[in-house]
Amino acid sequence: NTTLGIGGLFDPATHFGIYRQDEDFGQTLGFYGVGNGPYLVLPILGPSNLRDTTGLVVDTVVYTVMINELVDQADMKDNEEDLLKNGLTVLSAIDTRYRTPFRYYGTGSPFEYDLVRMLYTKQREFLIDE
C-alpha cells in the first residue's frame, strides 16, 4: 500500500487478496508464549496487562523512531521538524485512545473491575490464538 497506494492513501493490497492485520507486539509476545503478567488499568488507555503494556511501549518506540527518521529526511528547519514530530506523536496518542473502546463505568455492574478484567483477558487470548 505504501508504494502502489501512494504512501498509503489507497488500499490496492486488499484488491490483491492481502488483508490488513491489526496486530501489536503484545500479541506477538503472547504468540511466542510470554505470559500475561499482572492485570493493569492504564490511565486514559484502560485495561492492559504487563505483557501488553511492554508491547505498547515497544510499538510506541518503533513508531517514534520511524517518524523521526522520516521527518529528518524531509529537509526542514529544526523548529519545524520538532513541531511536526511532536504533532505526530500527539496525534498518534489521540488515535490510540480513540481506538480503545474501553470506557469507565460502561457496564453498570457493581463488579465492573472483575468483569472488565475477565473480558479483556479473554479478548486478548482470542486475538493471540486467531
| Predicted pLDDT at 58 | 94
Helices and strands in the chain, H and E counts: 5, 2
pTM value > 0.85: no
Residue-wise pLDDT tens digits, 19-74: 777 788 999 999 999 999 999 998 888 899 999 999 999 998 988 888 888 888 88
Crossing angle of helices 78-99 and 50-72, in 10° steps, is 150
**What backbone phi and psi angles, to 5 degrees, belong to 39?**
-75, 140
